[in-house]
Structure 1
Amino acid sequence: MAPLRIGYVREHFCSPLLQFEADDKSETFTLVECPSIALTDPLISGIAKGSQAYKLVGSYVSTPLNWAVITGKDTPYKTIADLKGTTLGISRPGSGSQTMAYVMALQQQWPTDDVKFQVNNDIHNLVASVNDGSTSAFMWEWFTTKPWQDRGEVRFIGSVPTPWPSWMIAAHPTRAANDALTAFLSSLSKYVTAFDNEQSRASRNVPFIKEKFGYPEEDIKAWMATVGYPSDCGSVSEKVVKETLSTLEKAGVVKTADGGFDIKTFVNTDVAKLI
């Protein structure tokens, strides 16, 4: 059987996956770096909009993702409220950076159909856009973008945590064999549990993340205090899917189908345990 090809983004959240890869001597899977990999909300909204390219097969991070609201080093914006009516930078349509801008608009009681966007593809172009004035701000995960703030290239003016757990696991409905996915998720759960336990948090995790990503120890420890992982990566919460859909609908990102959404449209229940 050919190894599974697992798309991932090279960020601190993927540390348990990287530890799993390092120990996978039989090479049951290979990692494929995908800088624009989707988070929980784009995965769910994509299916809601009709994509049949994937279904949810598991869960990866059980805590919210903290999105920093980031502006340029010399802009006049001091608070999130100052951004009303301006153009926000996003990586691509339908991305988490766009969805969370809608969530921010809901929190600020701005009309979501009046939020303007400029697509800038990646973090480097987003940073450039807030400094050249083509956008007012953009949103990205707090600790990933903190080095730009530490170097004085941008400023953080607020944050918006996701109303849902940040990372889920999705797979193509037919390209990946169900038994291979089930085995992968079972093994991944062991690495996630090992990474998430108290002893690893106090010892192994910090030097591992520092070596892999170069973050300062104080930032790693601050992040570790906020992140949690599921005990079973092979399960999907029906409540999480439904509540995410509800928020996305309020934000104007998706529209409820006639008769409502069927949970089995979103989850491959031949692989994932629906809880």
Structure 2
Amino acid sequence: MLNLKVGGVPEHFNYPWYITLKNKEYTKQNINLRWQDFPGGTGAMCKALREKEIDIAIVLTEGIIKDIINGNPSKIIQTFVKSPLIWGIHVGAKSKFQSIDDLENATVAISRHGSGSHLMAIVNAYNNGWDIDKLKFKVVKNLQGGIDALTNGEADYFMWEHFTTKPLVDNGTFRRVGDCPTPWPCFVVAIREEILENHPEEIKTVLNIINHCTSDFKSIENIDETLSIRYEQQLEDIQKWLSITEWNDGKPMSENLLTSIQNKMVTFNVIEEKIDSGKLIKIL
């Protein structure tokens, strides 16, 4: 039996992995797939891929592209969630800042450099016409670190997925001053090259199982109620999230799409220059 470890954020996007693991669908195909939560997000997963701590990552598109360009020996196999991710822009409950415009010279909390919270802060700055070179960052590791930094005044604003942070807005921990959607499909499946070379058929099997689950995910009976309870969110918020979220249909990621994303990332100063998109992906 092949041992594989997959990592992802402990958020509602990844509930299909929980379902397929609970049903032992991988075990039935002679694959011992284990899940690892990464509350630190994309930066932590990129590091884990590099250090062979995980084999597969469900990771933010912009983060893994930047890290592969910087030498991560992994490849993007397909999109996982093809709709944009809605990043909420949050300040502390007692913050003096009232709007996005107020944040131009403020300190932004990020989970780590190269993470989604870091790269999307750059995108947000570009969208608002700010000087990206003047952005000030405070590394906080994860969502709890962001809560602490904004509450203690160590940072001024923090960007994290809109619906995951909605309970913190509801309970008065954060105020949301705006949103910033990703200008590309948000999550992709990235796999270490060594695994792809040695076990391509098993990887195809894993992808077939998860893609079959996501294709039917919204039609699962009472899935909105299940997600609401598990992730401690308001039912109406989960229903809205489900209505705007689209998973991949199993098609591989195209070079044209990756070139388009890289062009935007260069424009946003998220990467300095693009590479041949064929070096970012592997078609199985």
Same fold (TM over 0.5): yes
C-alpha offsets along residues 170-223 of structure 1, whole Å, 9 cap, x if unaligned?
Answer: 000013511111111111111011114xx43xx432122124222221111111
| Matching of residue 118 in structure 1 with residue 138 in structure 2 | yes
C-alpha offsets along residues 43-67 of structure 1, whole Å, 9 cap, x if unaligned?
Answer: 0111122322x11112110100000
- Structure 1 residues without counterparts, runs of 5 or longer: none
Structure 2 distance, partners of 1:75, 1:230, is: 39
Q: Which residue is 1:185 aligned to?
A: 207
Structure 1 distance, partners of 2:41, 2:179, is: 21
Q: Which residue is 1:142 aligned to?
A: 162
Map 1:1-275 onto structure 2 (within 5 A): 1-25=1-25, 27=27, 28=31, 29-38=33-42, 39-52=60-73, 54-176=74-196, 177-196=199-218, 199-200=219-220, 203-232=221-250, 234-256=251-273, 261-269=275-283, 271=284
C-alpha offsets along residues 127-154 of structure 1, whole Å, 9 cap, x if unaligned?
Answer: 1211222211010000111111111111
Contact 2:39 2:143 in 1 (8 A): no
Q: CA RMSD in A?
A: 1.5
Count of aligned positions = 261
What percentage of aligned pairs have identical amino acids? 27
Structure 2 distance, partners of 1:216, 1:44, is: 33
C-alpha offsets along residues 91-146 of structure 1, whole Å, 9 cap, x if unaligned?
Answer: 00010001100100111001111111111111112112112222110100001111
With CA pairs under 8 Å and 6+ residues apart, which has the higher RCO, 1 or 2?
1
Contact 1:88 1:138 in 2 (8 A): yes
Q: Would the alpha carbon gap of residues 255 and 25 (structure 1) be closer, same or farther in structure 2, given more than 3 Å must change?
A: closer
Contact 1:113 1:252 in 2 (8 A): no
Q: Which residue is 2:54 aligned to?
A: none
Contact 1:57 1:268 in 2 (8 A): yes
Query: Which deviates more, 30-39 or 163-172?
Result: 30-39
Structure 1 distance, partners of 2:139, 2:26, is: 41
- Structure 2 residues without counterparts, runs of 5 or longer: 43-59
Structure 1 distance, partners of 2:12, 2:149, is: 25
Contact 1:49 1:254 in 2 (8 A): no
| Secondary structure of residue in 1 paired with 2:257 | helix
Instruction: Tell me the TM-score normalised to structure 1 length.
Output: 0.90
- Name the aligned partner's letter for residue 12 of structure 2: H
